[in-house]
Structure formats: C-alpha cells, structure tokens
Amino acid sequence: MTSQIIWLSKGTPKTLSHKGIEFRSGISKDPVESLEVTFERITGDDVENHEFHGGSERVICVYPYEHYAFWEKTYGTTLPKAAFGENLTLTNMQETEVCIGDIFQIGDAVLQISQGRFPCSTINKHTNINTLLNKIVEKGYTGYFFRVLKEGIITSHSDIKILEKHTKQISIATIHNTYFHNKKDLSQIEYILSLDELSSEWKNRMIKLYDQLKA
C-alpha cells in the first residue's frame, strides 16, 4: 500500500511542566508545511539533551499514524498532533513493515532507516499518561529514525518512494523484540550485529547483550 505523510512537525526545546514540575525538552513539536533536511539536523528543529538525542544517525524521527487510534482507544483520550515528538507522521510504514538500511526518497531528500527509537519517560510527562512508556515497550510502538543520505526539502504533499529494501530484512520490530523481550536469542543478536547500517547506539546496546550471553 502507498505510504503517505499525515503530519510534518518540528520544534526547538521548550520549558514544559508536568505535575507542577518544569522540565526542558524538544518533544513538543509544531505543525509545519515543509521541512528543510540536512545531514545533521532539520532546520529549526532540535533536542535538549544532545548526549542521548539527535545527531547524524537520528536526524528525522518517524511515528506511524496507525498507532494513534490504538493509543486513543486504550486511554480514552485524543492525542495532539506529533504527540510522540516525531517529525514525520506516516501511514503504512509501521515498525513491522520497515527494516534497518531501507532507503526512501521523500520529497527531495533521500533517507535511510538507521534505528528504532529508544523511548524514555519524557513521553509520559508530555502526554500526561503515566503508563504510556511501559505500554510502548510492551507493544513495540516506538517509532524510528532516518539518517540523511541526500539533503532536501520535504513538504506535506511529498511522495514517499522506496528506493532500496535492505537484503537482510531486519525490521525495527525484530530488533525491539530481541532487545526487550527475547534477550537470550544469541543467533538473532549476532544477525542484528551483522548490519552495517544499524546505528552505533543500537550496535552498542546489542554488543552488551551479546557479551552478557557469552560471559
């Protein structure tokens, strides 16, 4: 099925509040009609903590639009646009459907899937749903990131074209399930580690799992 852009969003870090306690985060995004994508970042978009977020392997955050219906039914609430801090909200590109190393053209930009998202508790604060993080980990509805192979402009009307499917076909969901729910599958971990296109952050996570199993 054809993939489509539902929302484009970007934003710089803001001071937010949860239960009367202020915190700084870039999770709150504003809807826009276009994104200027460079190798290192989206113009006008940023993260607060550069040690754990952002960088050339995590330029564009994607969240599948289909998950919104699940979350809204589960929690009986209406979520705002880009509730998960994503830049691209897309259809027909769920974690089970896309793989590390897959290359897409969206607008003028050429993008490659680099890693799944490693969710943190900021999502609970941002949505005011205290169990959301645990549910995201349980379901694997994390979203994922693109690195940029060719800079360009993405508009809300840009087409999404698959240019290359990676031959190893290791999905975002497979890596998530291995790391969080099937930590003792040594052969799967070895296969994941054979992916040159996997981001260094996730390689390091999987290497630690591997070393623990081999110890």
Percent of the chain whose pLDDT exceeds 70: 95
pLDDT tens sequence across 172-201: 999 999 999 999 999 999 999 999 999 999
Residue 18 to residues 53, 118, 181, 192, Cα–Cα distance (Å): 21, 21, 30, 37
| Per-residue confidence (pLDDT) for residue 44, from 0 to 100 | 94
Question: Hey, where are the domains in the chain?
Answer: 5-166
Q: What's the pLDDT band for 51 if we cut at 50, 70, 90?
A: low
Residue 8, C-beta contacts closer than 8 angstroms, at least 6 positions apart: 31, 32, 33, 34, 35, 87, 88, 89, 154, 155, 156
Q: Assess whether pLDDT exceeds 90 at residue 28.
A: no
- The architecture of the domain spanning 5-166 is Beta Barrel (2.40)
CA distance 137 to 98: 18
